[in-house]
Amino acid sequence: MLNSATHRRQNSCNLRQPYQQRTPPSPPHSTSLARFSLDAAYHGSSESEDERENEDLSDVGELDPLNYETRHTRRSGRRIAKRFDSETAPLREGNSIQEKLLRSYRPPRWRLWRRCSGTSRSFCLLSEPYYPTPKGGRYAGWTDSFRKAQILVKQMTLPEKVNVTTGVGWSMEMCVGNTGAVPRLGFPSLCLQDGPLGLRFADHATAWPAGLTVGATWNKDLMRRRGQAQAIEARLKGINIILGPSMGPLGRMPAGGRNWEGFSPDPVLAGWASSQTIRGIQGEGVIATAKHFVANEQEHFRQAWEWGTPNAISSNVDDRTMHEVYAWPFMDAVGADVGSIMCSYNQVNNSYACQNSKLLNGILKDEFGFQGFVQSDWLAQRSGVASALAGLDMTMPGDGLRWADGRSLWGKELTKAVLNGSVPIDRLNDMVARVVAAWYHMGQDNTLNWPLPPPEGDGGPNFSSWTLNETGLLHPGSDDPTTGIVNKYMDVQNVGGNGSDSHQLLARAIAAEGIVIVENVDNILPLSRIGWSAKEVLNGEGKEFHVGIFGEDAATNPRGRNACEDRGCNVGTLGQGWGSGTAEYPYLISPVEALRQAFNDSVSITESTTNNLPSASVLSNQDLCLVFANSDGGEGYIASGNIKGDRNDLGLQKGGDRLIKHIADHCGRDEAAVVVIIHAVGPVTVEPWIEHPAIKGVILAHLPSQESGSSLADVLFGDVNPSGRLPYTVGKSLQDYGPDAQILFNANGLRPQQNFTKGLYIDYRYFDKNEITPRYEFGYGLSYTTFELSGFKLEHVAQNNESFPIGRPGGVTPPGYPMQLPNPQEALIPSNFTKIKKYVYPWLDSLSEVKKGRYHYPHGYTWVKPPHPAGGSQGGHPDLWIRAMHVEVHVANIGDTDGAAVVQLYTMEEYNPRVDFPVRVLRGFEKVQVPAGAKRTVAFDINRRDLSYWDIERNTMPRSTPERKVGCRLLRILQARSN
Ligand code: BGC
């Protein structure tokens, strides 16, 4: 074994190549699929026994049985009677719920969590109960914020506390989410606004390049600066909480509708991009939201009823895959101190993500040590009491099971639940403390930066999500006719000034770096502004150069750049996908406009910005044809044509392939060149035309948003040397991605089941394992210069040689609160108060609403659980973050153009009969600018987590291999990509 001394060694491993000749993939694993019958699903949930009892078809999925509101719905008398059959008396005596209930009761063995026995062999169909919720305030970085929160929360009445946890209802105030305020104590209503790309529904704000584009930059600095600039805009608009970044869906299915909101299907790239975005956002005092936790990988069936099924889809994921793939970026987000996490619509292992105690109490709050608050996705909360006990802290937008109905599962129902003991008061205190602490943690109590809303100050949102008029309804979701000034049209785009911090320039730089050039035959690129290259001019070729620009995707939607709400149509150039993750374009520079400007006046330009096939005579007259095509998708509440959120395939849309082939067949007389430019929400298959000899250039420009044309021109003409690299694999067909990567388009039951059978093997890991040659591999992209790598050095920094993380640091004691239940009288609505219709309030109309009785806590609530061995700090056990290796490599730019190389570090494992490992996994990357002729050294620190895997028996992350073997097996640096 190595001791703590550092030592060096050259890596001389003989490594297996990831791509070899293609062999047919093995057929889907039929035995494991068979285990997931509908029947099993119905009887599967161990989250609550009640849930199982209640699964009859008249009732299924309508409500969770632990929902406090259930008596208003179709329920059997038996259920109602049982719900009030409670154990609340001990609470009234002022003892903690744990003290009273945790009588070291051990459940019978058969009721325990059924363990997974391996990633590829079986699945955790059932979600483990994980109670009670670990309290916030355990880690030193948050001690101060929780202490301040304690002082405030202790002064709050019960309805005031409830108000902080509950949204006031859809479109009741100006933002997409608004919490209730506590004006008496100066705690404002919090404004929550999408999102991952820009400030949704806001005017005069930047529409940033989408997450996928940011992923394609592989530029950590730009990732952070985009977050920061977005947060500056948010603060000036009065937004407290940005609903982004998105790191779920991760991108298990390349056709998934919302993948583009996130960064990459690779957890490490997604984790870096997310955590850098979070650092940028929160550095400006705005709370970031890591969303959507977790495994919300497709739009079809994501929500109950949205797709006709009474229940949302269940993503069935084994524990190892959860930790090493889907939860990984969230772990990074917690490590980056994220203030909020949004739980998703879907179920995970047959328990809704927003009431899944294993996910929220277990993975997020215990293992990862998450100190902020969990908010629900909009209407993703499916139960009242169960979700509170499982670790949900805030419900959004406040309405209950149906959109904009004003019948919250919390609000007054939470007030009742606390008074009758079904939600322990210490859980409510923790919920509120987490929200208030996050507010303090970001410095939002500083009224200089965050003035209070009127009448105390002039803060709060100064824009309306619901109208562009200056004056509008103050509570548009209700029938209240009160109007006021709702839009102040504050221009927040230029706060960065004109330097490199200017938001416009920053957006342009990101969009340009997010462009990936995948073909550049005969160095057709970069183009010359006069059309002819210098050599051709010398040769005296042609006087006038003819360029044709073709395709609808080259121009702005003729009805206007924002004509389709939430960008919910594919007309004109594609700069964003569709859904809540979009922003209004303040302006949109289309490709055709930018190219018109960019070419010299001597160049003759022909434009045909529809997908109609241009005539052969027009085409034959061109020296260069630039063809644009696209592929769009988005969030499931919008369908455009026959695309219902998720894409139906990976093909170009609106006849793009046909157009490209036609132009390639007819462009120019003899030797004209065709360059294809694609805007898309994810990978597209290029097989129909990629081998066409006329096609010399292929550019994947992703989703550039407002600076579309300018960023494209920057790269096309070589003002910016392309440095984007693919954040996903481009396969030759959708089938190449494997059976697990296919969207479930048809419900396979009332609670659709989707089994993540391939476990760790998504995207390039699947291609590697099955030896499928992709068209373009993950991490690929061309530059206008050439890089060379040399001098690879690997250094062990072995500070801790134990296989498993040692012990678990205790952390600090969370602040305490009195356990007495409040006087019920304080929950009554003030006598002179007039309610607004459908607005969600915390008060009771009468004390008779509080029913006394016995309440059954969820299955597993009384089990004594030691703290999770994988926890111990924010972001998991601190040992996981110990530096384990240092790697260095030299990158030389041997071309004649300055450029940026992206050095990617992958780890590989030798065959291990006990644990299955992907052929390689990305573990680090750095983008480095290297002037022509120069050499730079790139350094990586690899931490223990990078060399670990999730051990399903021990529930923690041991090192993947004994220390002494590590050096000789693992590291391979993919060449810095260049042409
Ligand atoms: C989306 C979230 C979004 C929320 C608020 C939901 O439909 O899934 O991502 O933040 O709406 O707009």
Mean pLDDT of 805-811: 85
Mean pLDDT of 524-552: 84
Confidence of residue 959 (pLDDT cuts 50, 70, 90): low
pLDDT at residue 861, as a whole number: 81
pLDDT tens-place string over residues 681-710: 999 999 999 999 999 999 999 999 999 999
**Rounded to whole angstroms, how far apart are CA atoms 575 and 590?**
9
**Rounded to whole angstroms, how far apart are CA atoms 674 and 691?**
12
The minimum-distance atom of ligand 1 relative to the CA of 344 is 8
Mean pLDDT of 417-444: 97
Torsion sign over Cα 45, 49, 54, 59: negative
Distance 379 CA to ligand 1 centre (A): 9
pLDDT at residue 608, as a whole number: 98
Tokens at residue 144, please?
A: 């101060």
Phi, psi of 350, rounded to the nearest 5 degrees: 65, 30
pLDDT tens-place string over residues 202-239: 999 999 999 999 999 999 999 999 999 999 999 999 99
Q: What share of the chain is helix, strand, coil (3-state, %, to 5)?
A: 25, 15, 55
- Beta-carbon contacts of residue 578 (< 8 Å; ≥ 6 apart): 564, 566, 567, 568, 569, 632, 633, 634, 635, 638, 640
Best residue among 170, 243, 259 to mutate for probing ligand 1, ranked by most atoms within 8 Å of CB: 243
pLDDT tens-place string over residues 191-205: 999 999 999 999 999
pLDDT at residue 135, as a whole number: 96
Distance 815 CA to ligand 1 centre (A): 32
Kind and range of the H or E element at 163?
helix 158-165
Strand order in the sheet with 516-520: 516-520, 695-700, 673-680, 624-631, 546-550, 604-608
pLDDT at residue 489, as a whole number: 98
Cβ atoms of residues 293 and 343 within 8 Å: yes
The minimum-distance atom of ligand 1 relative to the CA of 244 is 10
Q: Which of 274, 267, 363, 376 is nearest to 324 (CA)?
A: 267
pLDDT of residue 76 exceeding 60: no
CB atoms under 10 Å from CB of 432, counted, come to: 26
The minimum-distance atom of ligand 1 relative to the CA of 194 is 10
Angle between helices 412-419 and 425-441 in degrees, nearest 10: 130
Best residue among 303, 354, 377 to mutate for probing ligand 1, ranked by most atoms within 8 Å of CB: 377
Lining residues, ligand 1, CB within 6 Å: 176, 194-195, 243, 291, 377-378, 580
Peptide bond preceding 132: is omega within 30 degrees of 0, i.e. cis?
A: yes
CA-CA distances (angstroms) from residue 120 to 313, 314, 760, 859?
Answer: 21, 18, 9, 28
Peptide bond preceding 294: is omega within 30 degrees of 0, i.e. cis?
A: yes
Which residues is 202 bridged to in the sheet? none
Give, using CA atoms, the residue closest to atom 12 of ligand 1: 580
pLDDT at residue 799, as a whole number: 63
Mean pLDDT of 628-634: 98
What SS3 class is residue 528? strand
pLDDT of residue 724 exceeding 80: yes
Give, using CA atoms, the residue closest to atom 4 of ligand 1: 378
Distance 292 CA to ligand 1 centre (A): 9
pLDDT tens-place string over residues 770-802: 999 999 999 999 999 999 888 888 888 866 667
Distance 582 CA to ligand 1 centre (A): 10
518-770: what fold? Rossmann fold (3.40.50)
- Beta-carbon contacts of residue 163 (< 8 Å; ≥ 6 apart): 179, 180, 181, 182, 842
The minimum-distance atom of ligand 1 relative to the CA of 200 is 12
CA-CA distances (angstroms) from residue 783 to 709, 934, 939?
Answer: 20, 16, 21
The minimum-distance atom of ligand 1 relative to the CA of 177 is 5
Give, using CA atoms, the residue closest to atom 2 of ligand 1: 377
**Rounded to whole angstroms, how far apart are CA atoms 381 and 410?**
10
Best residue among 170, 289, 298, 580 to mutate for probing ligand 1, ranked by most atoms within 8 Å of CB: 580
Which residues is 794 bridged to in the sheet? 9, 887
The minimum-distance atom of ligand 1 relative to the CA of 291 is 9
The single residue of 266, 318, 377, 946 carrying the catalytic annotation is 377
pLDDT of residue 1 exceeding 90: no
Give, using CA atoms, the residue closest to atom 9 of ligand 1: 580
Distance 826 CA to ligand 1 centre (A): 34
Peptide bond preceding 27: is omega within 30 degrees of 0, i.e. cis?
A: no
The C-alpha angle with vertex 585 and arms to 276 and 246, in degrees rounded to 5, equals: 30
Residue with tokens 């599967």: 44
- Going by the DSSP 8-state scheme, the letter that residue 683 receives in this structure is -
Range of lowest pLDDT (56-60, 361-365, 608-612, 892-896): 56-60
Give, using CA atoms, the residue closest to atom 11 of ligand 1: 378
Confidence of residue 58 (pLDDT cuts 50, 70, 90): very low
Range of lowest pLDDT (447-451, 501-505, 968-972): 968-972
Distance 376 CA to ligand 1 centre (A): 9
**Rounded to whole angstroms, how far apart are CA atoms 778 and 400?**
42
pLDDT of residue 819 exceeding 80: yes
**Rounded to whole angstroms, how far apart are CA atoms 160 and 843?**
9
pLDDT of residue 944 exceeding 80: yes
Give, using CA atoms, the residue closest to atom 8 of ligand 1: 377
Give, using CA atoms, the residue closest to atom 3 of ligand 1: 580
For the chain, the domains span 142-466+819-846, 518-770, 787-808+869-969
Distance 583 CA to ligand 1 centre (A): 13
CATH of domain 142-466+819-846: 3.20.20.300
Q: For 787-808+869-969, which CATH class?
A: mainly beta
The DSSP code sequence of 602-665 is: TSEEEEE-SSSPPPHHHHHT-SEEEEEEEE--B-TT--BTTB-SS-SSSS-STTHHHHHHHHHH
**458: annotated active-site residue:** no
pLDDT at residue 960, as a whole number: 60
Distance 581 CA to ligand 1 centre (A): 7
pLDDT tens-place string over residues 78-128: 222 222 222 222 222 223 333 333 333 333 333 333 333 333 334 446 898
Cβ atoms of residues 858 and 97 within 8 Å: no
The minimum-distance atom of ligand 1 relative to the CA of 243 is 10
pLDDT at residue 148, as a whole number: 98
Distance 195 CA to ligand 1 centre (A): 8
Q: Which of 178, 187, 282, 274 is nearest to 234 (CA)?
A: 282
Q: What is the mean pLDDT of the chain?
A: 85
